[in-house]
Amino acid sequence: MPNDNDPIRILEQETLSDDYWQLSKVTFSQRRRDGSEQEETREVYHNAGGAAVLLYNRDKRTVLLTRQFRIGARLAGHDGFIIEVPAGMLDDADPATRVRAELCEETGFRGHGLRKVIEFFPNPSALTETVHCFLGEYEERDRKGEGGGKEEEGEDIEVLEMDIDEAFRQVKEGGINDAKTVILLQFLREELRQSNGAQL
């Protein structure tokens, strides 16, 4: 039943594509703050969301990252090879289960002490997606394989063990520019600052 207090009314949804993700054209009415009504149409991609995880090693002061090709970045003028944290679509799994699976598939590590730190909308104007972000730790004994992703899914993932300070530097200089990765590195930076007073 419509809520009279809701300033938004969905008038029509038309499916434009239903391949990898569903793309729809949505027409809605919005009651503006001055009381007037306006009608807008937007195209929106729908998916069930994703999960991402950043592992760090306290003793070595390193983080586990990946590098892989992303066509969207290439079409935007970048070379397309993006440094990022392990991540994947939920595909009906809960976020914690998904990040554990992605860790093994992409990096070969299992990790421990995983905890969720934030959930965010990467592009709320055009995506229904939310990304669940986790921090965790790893040691060499947590290695269970080589990583690299699933070849049958077209993945060719390079595993990067990067010094923490180098990762922070690359964020500052633009070498790391993937949103979920920047967010998780900032959470890690603050956590390390609070836990040991390090000058980061």
Whether residue 33 is found in the same domain as residue 68: no
- pLDDT surpasses 50 at 198: no
**Quick check: is 3 in a domain?**
no
Whether residue 58 is found in the same domain as residue 41: no
Task: Give residue 155's pLDDT band: very low, low, confident or very high (50, 70, 90).
Answer: confident
Whether residue 149 is found in the same domain as residue 99: yes
**Quick check: is 2 in a domain?**
no
- pLDDT surpasses 90 at 161: yes
Whether residue 16 is found in the same domain as residue 33: yes
- pLDDT surpasses 50 at 199: no
pLDDT, tens only, 5-61: 899 999 999 999 998 889 999 999 999 999 999 999 999 999 989 999 999 999 999
Whether residue 96 is found in the same domain as residue 137: yes
Whether residue 145 is found in the same domain as residue 186: yes
Whether residue 17 is found in the same domain as residue 75: no
Q: Which of 111-115, 126-130, 170-174, 192-196 has the lowest mean pLDDT?
A: 192-196
Whether residue 67 is found in the same domain as residue 37: no
Whether residue 28 is found in the same domain as residue 93: no
pLDDT, tens only, 55-114: 999 999 999 999 999 999 999 999 999 999 999 999 889 999 999 999 999 999 999 999
Which pLDDT belongs to residue 103?
93
Tokens representing 42 are: 């937007």
Q: How far apart are CA 31 and CA 139, in angstroms?
A: 54
Whether residue 106 is found in the same domain as residue 139: yes
Domain that holds residue 79: 50-195
SS3 per residue for 68-93: EECHHHHHCCCCCEEEECCEEECCCC
- pLDDT surpasses 90 at 4: no
Which contacts (CB < 8 Å, 24+ apart) does range 32-40 have? 32/7, 39/11
Q: How far apart are CA 154 and CA 7, in angstroms?
A: 43
Whether residue 35 is found in the same domain as residue 93: no
Which pLDDT belongs to residue 197?
60
Higher pLDDT, 165 or 146: 165
Whether residue 75 is found in the same domain as residue 153: yes
Q: Which of 105, 115, 122, 99 is nearest to 51 (CA)?
A: 99
Q: How far apart are CA 145 and CA 83, in angstroms?
A: 20
